[in-house]
Amino acid sequence: MPPISSAIRRAATSDGAILLDVERGQMFSLNTVGSRILELLGKGWNEPQIVAELSATFGADVERVRCDVREFLELLARHHVLDETAGRPQGGPRK
């Protein structure tokens, strides 16, 4: 999993978290589940680990959680919350 971008600042709230992208001047609001996913990403958890954790915590169907987590991770990547370039050699091909 790509790490969280160094341009992202995060503040916990009672409802989840607020993210600020200091490079792009964008703010995002996350609910408690989104905030938990970002927390686990920050700890280096991969997608299957996050899915298993959320499924167990919320008693939700694994396939449903897998789809929701995948969609959320794609959204984070699209909004540059995740650093897709981390670990890629400079000048290397993009995936």
Q: Domain holding 74: CATH number?
A: 1.10.10.1150
Residue 37 sits in which domain range? 8-78
Q: Is residue 24 part of a domain?
A: yes
**pTM for the complete prediction?**
0.81
What is the structure's pLDDT at 26? 95
In contact, 8 and 19? CB cutoff 8 Å: yes
Q: Is residue 47 part of a domain?
A: yes
- For 38-59, how does the pLDDT look when each residue is reduced to its tens digit (9 = 90+)? 999 999 999 999 999 999 999 9
Q: Is residue 14 part of a domain?
A: yes
Position of tokens 């009672």? 14
Q: Is residue 86 part of a domain?
A: no
Q: Is residue 30 part of a domain?
A: yes
* Cα distances (Å, whole numbers) of residue 56 to 13, 22, 39, 68: 23, 34, 17, 15
N residues, the chain = 95
Q: Is residue 41 part of a domain?
A: yes
Q: Is residue 88 part of a domain?
A: no
Q: How many domains does the chain have?
A: 1
Q: What is the mean pLDDT of residues 64-75?
A: 96
CA angle 25-27-28, nearest 5°?
150
Q: Is residue 17 part of a domain?
A: yes
